[in-house]
Chain A
Amino acid sequence: MYLGADIKREILLFAFIFLVLGPVPIMSIHRHQENKTTSAAAAFALLLPEEISGWKESRPDEVYGRENIFDYMDGAGEIYLAYDFQFVFVREYVRANSPSLMVEIYQMSSSEDAFGVFTQDLDGNEVNLGQDALYAAGLLRFWKDKIFVRIMADKETAEIKPVIMKLGEIIVAASPQEGIRPSLISAVPSAGLRPKTLRYFHTLISLNSHYFLAGENVLNLSSDTQVVLTQYEKEKSRARLLLVAYRSPNQAEAANKQFVKIYLKDKALPEGKVQSNKLEDGQFAGILRRNRFLIIVLDAEALPLAEWLFEETSQKLEEEN
């Protein structure tokens, strides 16, 4: 067995700190919170081995929070900030004449957002680790409970892949709890769903990174909204489903009116009525408000598929609520 007594002790320490401290927000700076973040990051540092199969820590570990994420990834931090990201712990391993290894552990406030960040890019081969995991070409990504993890080699080699997987297993073993997935994803129909297309997020910046709808925030997306975007294929036709949960029916109605006016160039229909239009490319787009939810179908190649998506999603929302 790889894990030595020291490592086991460290994992127990990590689990203890993690369970006691729980999520650690550092958005507002208070010394108490800074200390918690430092402790949680220290737990990650203790959890990971100093050396693994000859790969050794190359430099001091780094931790970036919401305030300085851009120091780590200038030009991409916005995507993490669009979720309830708290901090990222970074460790690099090097070995002579071998590719280097980078471990990044993203601490989120909620398991829903750990799942959401994971869905940003779903290209890769599924592996059995954490709650969902993908591996391809030297990059392992997974989420479990409130963490999202990326472990990447500079280059993939036969020798480095088992090391990447082992590091992943160490992190997973120290996080005994399973996190809940966003409840909204259970409201999307499962028949015909293309799993690799499912995305969960909150804001416009995330929507735009997956699917360009408009240059402005026509759906009034914010950190308070929950969004599932996915694609369907049924009977040789495809369509996209965008399901948005607002805090209140009023907010949903305001977004409904705006979407219909700007995108469908029409007048909004009352709640429960599907507004569906054939667009310039011959495909269908439509919207339906159900209480505080908007069901939006886009790029539907066939009207029956769009109608089916409205009906099925409505039913599921009713069942869920």
Chain B
Amino acid sequence: MKKTTKPRKVVTRRDFIKGAALGSLGIALYGNGRRLFAKSGPGVALFAAENPQSTIVLIRNEKAIGTGDAINPAVVQEMIDTALKEFSGEQDAAKAWAKFVRPDDTVGVKFTRCGYMRVHTEQPVIDAIVKRVGEAGVAQNRIIAQDGGLPVAKCTVLINVPTVKVHTLTGIAVSLKNYINFSPQPSKYHAPSTNLGEIYLFPEVKGKTRLIIVDMLRPYFGPGPQINPLHRWNYHGIMVGTDPVAIDSVCLQICQVKRKLFKGEDWPITPPPDNIFAADKTYKLGTSDPAKIKVIKLGWEKDFLI
């Protein structure tokens, strides 16, 4: 008997318009400002696949960035501590950190150092994290803060510390993209980038990410491929969570709103970041469904964009 195969479905722009592609992410790109995220409220719970509700804490402080874009380390430290206390439900920063790292851990702080784009994780953000991990009892020689070449197999814990940038090939680069150089073949995850989530499941990576702390102080919303300073803005934010999919979804939404404000008209992020949707549906790394993402907003309210 002759076998018939169903022709492969090609996702087109029309699928986004109909809301039939990438779920709510499609709406974020083409939804004309439709509200996406659940209202914030009390009762923080860490992300768990069996309990699909993700909580993200987004904190902003006007004083985090000063004249000449200088970052204020003390303010950044305070922002991270406050966000982590809120996220963990602890009153005390030390207790909050103790929920994520133990003295016998080897902690990899995976930051972003992107030479050609220059949207690096700010040093005060890295320093603040390394300081608190040390205070949680981890010896300095077991705290490895690095981008390329981080010895991930040696680490028992990873803290993912990406920046936020719209990206010519992956749509957006935040916590999923930040692990791309754990792969020996990073270009395998560009255009299309649907498989980016699989890196989180590499044996030496899987299950190690206890925290994601996103440097949202100065994100990038432009098209690339290289930086145009016009497309960088001082958002003054730090985001904390454990669900890379939810975090990337929220960052996508913020960048999308910023692009529209900049152009004064729709300017959808392209290519659509299907890696976020695949990280949810294929790799089960978290949720991209706004109804299941609780965003707790703290601090400076001006232009939160979400």
User: A-side interface residues toward B, CB under 8 Å?
Assistant: 70, 72-80, 120-121, 123-124, 136-139, 150, 152, 154-156, 205, 208-216, 218, 262-263, 279-281, 298
Q: Is there contact, CB below 8 Å, between B225 and A155?
A: no
Collect the chain B residues with CB atoms within 8 Å of residue A76's CB: 116-117, 168-169, 224-226
Contact A263 B231 (CB under 8 A): no
Asked if A121 meets B228 with Cβ closer than 8 Å, knowing A209-B271, A210-B270, the reply is yes
Once A79-B168, A208-B270, A210-B270 are accepted as A-B contacts, the answer to whether A136 and B228 lie under 8 Å apart by CB is yes
| 5 A-B pairs with least C-beta separation | A76-B225, A137-B229, A73-B116, A215-B11, A79-B225
Contacts of A73 in B (CB 8 A): 115-117, 225-226
Distance (whole angstroms) from the CB of A258 to the closest CB of chain B? 10
At the interface, yes or no: B123 with Cβ under 8 Å from chain A? no
Chain A minimum-CB-distance residue to B181: A74
Least CB distance, A278 to chain B, in whole angstroms: 12
Q: Can you sample 21 A-B contacts with CB below 8 Å? A: A73-B225, A75-B186, A76-B117, A76-B169, A76-B226, A78-B187, A121-B222, A121-B224, A137-B229, A137-B230, A209-B168, A209-B223, A209-B271, A210-B223, A210-B270, A212-B13, A212-B270, A215-B11, A218-B10, A263-B14, A280-B17
Pick from B187, B230, B271: contact of A124, CB under 8 Å: B230
Whether the Cβ atoms of B271 and A212 lie closer than 8 Å is: yes
Does B190 count as interface, using CB distance less than 8 angstroms? yes
Q: Which residue of B lies closest to A156 (CB)?
A: B229
Assuming the A-B contacts A121-B222, A121-B228, are A214 and B168 also in contact, with contact meaning beta carbons closer than 8 angstroms in the complex?
Answer: no
Partner of A263, one of B12, B169, B224: B12
Q: Which residues from chain B contact A216 at a C-beta distance below 8 Å?
A: 10
How many pairs of A and B residues are in contact by the CB < 8 Å rule? 116
Distance A75 CA – B118 CA, assembled complex (angstroms): 13
| Chain B interface residue count, Cβ-Cβ cutoff 8 angstroms | 41
Q: Return chain B residues, CB-CB under 8 Å to A209.
A: 168-169, 223-225, 270-271
Complex Cα–Cα for A213 and B17 (A):
11
Question: Is B69 positioned at the interface, with any CB of A under 8 Å from its CB?
Answer: yes
Q: Beyond the given A139-B230, A210-B223, could you list 12 further A-B residue pairs with CB under 8 A, ordered by the A residue number?
A: A75-B114, A75-B117, A75-B169, A75-B186, A76-B116, A76-B117, A79-B224, A120-B225, A138-B229, A155-B69, A209-B168, A280-B17
B272 at the A interface (CB under 8 A): yes
Determine the chain B residues whose CB is within 8 A of the CB of A74 once the complex forms.
Answer: 116, 186-187
Judge whether B167 is part of the interface by a CB distance below 8 angstroms: yes
Kindly report which residue of chain B lies nearest to residue A153, judged by CB atoms.
B229
Contact string, B4-20, partner A, CB cutoff 8 A, digits 1/0? Answer: 00000011111011100
Contact A214 to B270, CB < 8 A, known contacts A205-B191, A209-B168:
no
